[in-house]
Structure 1
Amino acid sequence: MQLLNSPTRYGAIAQFLHWTAVALVVLAWVLGMFGDELPKGSSRDLGLYVHTTAGLLVIALTILRLLWRLADPSPPAEKTRFGEWLFADWVGLGAKLAHFGLYVLLVAVPVAGIVLQFARGDGLSIFGIVEIASPWVRDRAFAESVKEIHELLAHGLLALAGLHAAAALVHHCVFRDRTLVRMLPGSKA
């Protein structure tokens, strides 16, 4: 098993950070969208706790992932047919902006969730170990505004992640390069 990135593929550590973030984002989004459907009481409380914990883990993983990228840079982009096209630079710029947007949203969505928790006047449980009291008095109007922003950012994150996944599939199915395969665990070099 290759732990570090190579010129041709991502290592196991980068893959783990990537796919764990994917799973946590999907889990948090599903619970955010459908958590109110859970029965009131302990089930709904557990759903909110898991939602919040997943968001906190996304922030931690994103920071860890960015630090890991500094220590172990990503492999260079695969050569595609775009390299021959006049607008190849625009496509490359679009890919870089999409990745930047993903990293921004991976932090912004949970941060908005934390602000929402505090705006409701509720404390924030950090993995069930520490409880941070809300620095604000409950403000329903502010909480409702923050909730809308949190949801909008979360939907934006899912949409951008979907675009990211679609681009990887286009690379795999249309261009037949290794862009997708090199991020898949267990694939050959």
Structure 2
Amino acid sequence: MFPETIETERLRLDPRWPETVDLDDCYRICSSDPAIDEVTEHVTWDPHETKKETLEFLERGRKRWEDNEAAGYVIRPRQGEDGAGEIAGFGGFSVDWEKRTATLGTWLRKRFWGRGYSGERAAALAAVAFEDLDLALVTVSHLPENEQSRRAIEKYVDRLGGRREGLLRNHITFADGSVHDEIRYSITQKEWREATN
């Protein structure tokens, strides 16, 4: 149902499965990559403590894909980009079929920040959600204090025709059990078509 490979001008996205992601490389990145604490400061997971945890992350990606719940991808820069072929991060979307809604999520290694990859990935995934899956809505959220995500999300949501909806209080739970607010944005299929065609 979900495309197994997505290529943009500068990125290649492949499924987040044990067969497509090197376990040792992924574990090193998810446990001790430079600035991993900055990367995980505003996401729901903590740096991985064991290789088993990394394997479970990849296996969960495959299971949710097979169950048509989510399309998770490893993000790699394409040939010609600095770091071509390396794992830059992970991203994708979960699907609520009853509400015809895809919810985007991503994280990138710090060395890949500031290149516009988040927006490029978001545009490609929105196209899949609206064109391939005929969903009605794409949403994305960030923590109120995450200024870097706010800037990136506002830029691509505006370009794709969407808008900021507002603050959702006590909306997301982290691995440590703490509960956090989120700021949510959305793009309808109609808004997306008007903005991109």
TM interval, shorter chain, is under 0.3
TM-score of the pair, normalised by structure 1: 0.24
TM-score by length of 2: 0.23
Find the structure with the greater CA-based Rg: 1
Q: Which structure is higher in strand share? A: 2
- Tell me: higher relative CO, structure 1 or 2? Use CA pairs within 8 A at least 6 residues apart: 1
